[in-house]
Amino acid sequence: MQNKKYRPLAKSTLLFVRKKYKKRKIIGSPLNSPCVYLCRHRDMVGVVQAFSDIKTVLRPWVLNCFCSYKEAKNQFRNYTFSVRMKKSKLFCKLMSPVCARIITWYAKSVRSIPVYRNENASKSITTIKQSVRALEEDYSIVIFVDVDYTSAQECDSGDIYKGFYAVDKLYFKRNKKHIAFVPVYANEEQTVIHTPVYFMDNERQTVFDEIVKKIYNPT
């Protein structure tokens, strides 16, 4: 049974979020043992819904730039606000430090696991090792696997990152058993916590296909 607790900042925020979304329909239940939940970003709406509706303590995978104040500030200023949101230079200058401070503070509060991509991809083994250690310490993990993280649209399927499979490989090597991966579907009205799936070497693509189907569909 999961016996960990969120740190004060995350706990207080979560109480507010769960009160706001208390009328949402939740189908299925979290596992009583450590596992890996797989969800969609849905332009950050899915992140909020996952933490609100999966009633257990979660440690999320978070891009490494949001775990460092300096890197987060650069990300907000040079991409999130300026490129994606088309904000003015003044807005970017004023808001980037504020948002960077908040996001890094929150990432620390929920014990985020940094994810390394692109030029930092060589450090990805660090993410896998930290994830397996968290599972062995009785934490569950949540990973937002959709490639098109800005899309909040309903659709039947989409591309996902598959690197999370390495968590199972290392976990099996160390513990001689496979870890459960739990696909989660969420839209504006409901969250569906699907039954867990497990990777077997000769069924890997089948499992990936099942995960895609379940995070994009409620049934």
- State residue 38 phi and psi, 5-degree precision: -120, 125
Which carries the bigger pLDDT value, residue 202 or residue 28?
28
When the pLDDT of each residue in the chain is averaged and rounded to a whole number, the result is 91
* Least confident piece of the model among 9-13, 86-90, 125-129, 162-166: 9-13
Reported as half-sphere exposure (CB side, CA atoms, 13 A), residue 200 has a value of 4
pTM over 0.85: yes
Q: Over 90: is that where the pLDDT of 45 sits?
A: no
Question: What is the band of 212 on the pLDDT scale with cuts at 50, 70, 90?
Answer: very high
Q: Over 60: is that where the pLDDT of 1 sits?
A: no
Contacts with 207 (C-beta within 8 Å, 6 or more apart), sequence order: 181, 197, 198, 199, 200
Q: Over 50: is that where the pLDDT of 51 sits?
A: yes
